[in-house]
Amino acid sequence: MIGANLRHLRVFLAVAEGGSVTRAAALSYLSQPAVTQAIAKLEGQTGGPLFLRNPQGFFPTEAGEVLRRRAVRAFALLDPALTEIAPRLPRIASRPQLRALVAVTEAQNFTLAARALAISQPTVHRAIAQLEREAPQPLFRRSPLGVMPTRACTALARAARLAFAELDQADAELGELAGREVGRIAIGATPLARSHILPRALAAFRARRPRLEIRVLDGPYATLLAALRRGDIDFMVGALRDPAPIDDVVQERVFEDRLVILAGAGHPLMSGRPDVAQLAGYPWLVTRENTPARNQFNAMFDAAGVAPPTGVIETGSVILMREMVQDGRHLACVSRLQAIGEIGRGMVQALDMTVPGPSRPIGLTFREGWQPTPAQAQILDDVRAVEGE
């Protein structure tokens, strides 16, 4: 793991910026042999030289430039949060200490954090104590119910996670240069993405990169957004929000989609062109409150001056919708693309009516300033290509 030793990375940056072991040693408060040893260890991890050495100095190789760029981005995220707690922390904080801090911040319990990291509880306590010795006040507030991170501690935990994500991307890019598939791509997928977009995009991607690990995470939009912002996933695919939910993410429209109303083959409303008042008398399956699809569903009844149905079943599962509407009574409101497979196979049918309202933008969501690796850029292009299909 290229980012296992943050101090070695800082030494590497000092050499890259100064072009000299001597200057890097002075900047890092280390001996020249210590600087040389740090670079040698990093080159052993990357499997090749990071610098071209000549009488004029040290100049980054292609691999060295990849690592330099990612390391600069990682420390630009990490160092402001470290400095806010204590000025010396950027020089002395280690990755194991920061991993312990992240784990305790998330678990709010030392025992659970130790289990998550597969290390002993005293080791976690020691790591936090080492960081707190530099801070003017504790990073966690202890109580009988657990430990609560301070505001500065929470900010540092988030910065550390994002910095580690950058270093993971450095691993992937360095592996790419060496002709190896390294790391994995993590995608946050809404129900629409899982049923229509991702199967096509992943099939295309797999044809070119059959060995790279891909992880698809599902869940409510808010959960996926939180995972994206802390670096657990690389990007999200699904319905976009208007406006964007927060200013540190970017949305990219890929195509438009509309809502349809699903029914079973024997439903009474399949024989004509129903109006909104008729719809209100049937049991429904709809998405969660405050989602774009649910808001549009509610607006359809509001615009017609009709009270919306009560006792609805909230779900994002097309499988559950499909099974329920086949009873000839239930109706479901869902994205057309999300149900296009079921409609095409004749498992459900769409009522002959248009759900009022604008089409919904579908696309990609990623962190502001995020720079994808070549593999991540390829899978993004595969998602974009689904529109052409």
285 versus 316: which is more confidently predicted?
A: 285
Residues 251, 239: Cα–Cα separation, whole Å: 10
Per residue in 274-306, pLDDT tens?
889 999 989 999 998 888 889 999 999 999 999
Residue 82 has pLDDT above 70, yes or no: yes
Helices (H) and strands (E) in the chain, counts: 17, 14
Contact between 95 and 5 under an 8 Å Cβ cutoff? The reply is yes
Residues of the chain with pLDDT > 70, as a percent, come to: 99
The count of residues in the chain is: 389
Token pair 């202890």: residue: 142
Tell me the CATH class for 259-358.
alpha beta
178, two tokens: 């060496």
> So where are the chain's domains?
6-159, 183-256+362-388, 259-358
- What is the mean predicted confidence (pLDDT) over 2-10? 91
The whole-number pLDDT of residue 163 equals 97
Residue 143 has pLDDT above 80, yes or no: yes
Q: Residue 48: which residues within 8 A CB-CB, separation 6 or more?
A: 61, 63, 178
The whole-number pLDDT of residue 3 equals 79
DSSP code, position 193? I
**C-alpha distance from residue 184 to each of 45, 70, 96, 379 (Å):** 18, 17, 22, 12
- The CATH number of 183-256+362-388, from 3.40.47.10, 3.40.50.300, 3.40.190.10, 3.40.50.620, is 3.40.190.10
The answer to whether domain 183-256+362-388 and domain 259-358 are alike in fold is yes
Q: Is 14 helix (H, G, I), strand (E, B) or coil?
A: helix
Fold for the domain defined by 6-159? Arc Repressor Mutant, subunit A (1.10.10)
231 versus 389: which is more confidently predicted?
A: 231
Contact between 299 and 291 under an 8 Å Cβ cutoff? The reply is no
- What is the mean predicted confidence (pLDDT) over 312-323? 92
86 versus 317: which is more confidently predicted?
A: 86
Residue 17 has pLDDT above 80, yes or no: yes
**C-alpha distance from residue 304 to each of 269, 280, 290 (Å):** 18, 11, 20
Q: Residue 274: which residues within 8 A CB-CB, separation 6 or more?
A: 351, 352, 353
Q: How confident is the model at residue 73 (pLDDT cuts 50, 70, 90)?
A: very high
The whole-number pLDDT of residue 253 equals 94
The whole-number pLDDT of residue 389 equals 58
Per residue in 171-227, pLDDT tens?
999 999 988 888 899 999 987 788 888 999 999 999 999 999 999 998 888 999 999
The whole-number pLDDT of residue 119 equals 96
The whole-number pLDDT of residue 97 equals 97
Mean pLDDT of the chain: 92
Token pair 């599962």: residue: 317
The whole-number pLDDT of residue 358 equals 82
Per residue in 43-60, pLDDT tens?
999 889 999 999 889 999
Spacing of C-alpha 305 from chain mean position: 41
The whole-number pLDDT of residue 388 equals 58
The whole-number pLDDT of residue 112 equals 96
Per residue in 345-373, pLDDT tens?
999 999 988 888 888 889 999 999 999 99
Residues 109, 123: Cα–Cα separation, whole Å: 14
Per residue in 244-275, pLDDT tens?
999 999 999 998 888 999 999 889 999 888 88
Residues 140, 85: Cα–Cα separation, whole Å: 12
Per residue in 194-206, pLDDT tens?
888 899 999 999 9
The whole-number pLDDT of residue 337 equals 85
Please choose, from the candidates 389, 274, 249, 263, the residue with its C-alpha nearest in 3D space to the C-alpha of residue 334. Answer: 263
The whole-number pLDDT of residue 37 equals 95
